[in-house]
Amino acid sequence: MRCRPETDFPERFLDTREVELFQNKEPARRVRVESARFHGAYILIKLEGVNTPEEAARLSNFMVAVGPDEVIDLEDGYYHYELEGLEVFEPDGTRLGLLQEVISNPAHEIYRIDDLLIPAVDEYILEIDLEKGRMIARRPVYDDED
């Protein structure tokens, strides 16, 4: 399978023995890795039981992740799975909704809170408290262009 790494530590896929396959953020299954190598910007992974291009194509919408015991602690920042599902409030306590998705973007990530998009920058994201399962964020205000 050809995988596009979405991690700051893609080299760990070269040493991992098992990965987890997810679809729609729900665990699908844990699979043994037979081999892995870099190919340009991608990682080619041979999974046990996936022997034909057709079998690999059935997994094209799956995410491949290392197991929880192989997650590297981040000194600065959060993994997407840690943020998704947090309740988001404005500084005055008004509930904005649930953080549904972290959208990767070249300039910075964007948090989708229900139908609201908030840039993941200090100007708007004021506090993240994983223990309490909440985030304090300022709703972006856009000037009229008229």
Domains, in order of start, for the chain: 2-70 (2.40.30.60), 80-137 (2.30.30.240)
Distances (CA, A) of 37 to 10, 41, 80: 10, 11, 25
Specify the higher pLDDT residue, 105 or 45. Answer: 45
Is the pLDDT confidence value at 27 over 60?
yes
pLDDT tier at 28 (50, 70, 90 boundaries)?
A: low
Task: Give me the mean pLDDT over the 65-86 stretch.
Answer: 82
Is the pLDDT confidence value at 32 over 60?
yes
Is the pLDDT confidence value at 5 over 50?
yes
Helix-strand-coil split of the chain, %, nearest 5: 10, 40, 45
Q: Distance of alpha carbon 49 from its chain centroid, rounded?
A: 26
Task: Give me the mean pLDDT over the 105-134 stretch.
Answer: 94
Task: Give dist(CA 31, CA 138) in Å, integer.
Answer: 41
Which pLDDT does position 64 carry in this prediction?
Answer: 86
Mean pLDDT over each residue of the chain, to the nearest integer: 88
CA-nearest of 30, 12, 13 to 21 is 30
Is the pLDDT confidence value at 66 over 90?
no
Is the pLDDT confidence value at 29 over 70?
yes
Which pLDDT does position 145 carry in this prediction?
Answer: 47
pTM greater than 0.75 (yes/no): no
